[in-house]
Structure 1
Amino acid sequence: MDIAQSLRRTGFPRLFVHFAVLVIVLLWLLPTLGILVSSLRDKDQITVSGWWTAFAGATQTEAVRLAEPSAQRQDGTGYVISGTLVEGDKTVSAFGTRVLEPGAFPAGETVDVGDGETLTVHADGTYEYRKPTSFDGERGRRVYLTVVTPPAFTFDNYRTVLNAEGIGNAFVNSLTVTIPATVIPILIAAFAAYALAWMEFPGRAILIAVVVGLIVVPLQMSLIPLLRMYNGIGMLFGVPSKTYAGIWLAHTAFGMPLAIYLLRNYIAGLPKEIIESARVDGASDFEIFVRIVLPLSFPALASFSIFQFLWVWNDLLVAMVFLGTSGDQLVLTGALNALLGSRGGNWEILTASAFITIIVPLLVFFALQRYLVRGLLAGSVKGG
Structure 2
Amino acid sequence: MEAKKLGLVLGISTIVAAFTMVLHLLEAPQVQHALLGEFNFIIPAMLKGASSSGKYQLGVLLPNLTSCHESMGRSDLPVYCCPPMNQSDVAFIDFQFPDPSLPLRVRRPTHLLDENYIAKYKKAITIMKSLPDTDPRSYSRQANLHCLFCTGAYYQQHSNSPLNIHRSWLFFPWHRMLIYFHERILGGLIGDDTFALPFWPWDIPEGMVIPEMYMKAPFFHEARDISHFPPSVVDLDYSCTASSSDDYGCFESGLGPEDQVYTNLVMMYNQMVAGAKKMELFMGCPYKAGEGGSCNGPGTLELAPHNTVHKWVGSNLNPGSRGRDMGVFYSAARDPIFLSAPCQYRPSLGSLDEAPWEQGYQ
Q: Which TM-score band (shorter chain)? A: under 0.3
| Structure having the larger proportion of residues in helix | 1
| Structure having the larger proportion of residues in strand | 1
TM-score normalised by the chain length of structure 1: 0.23
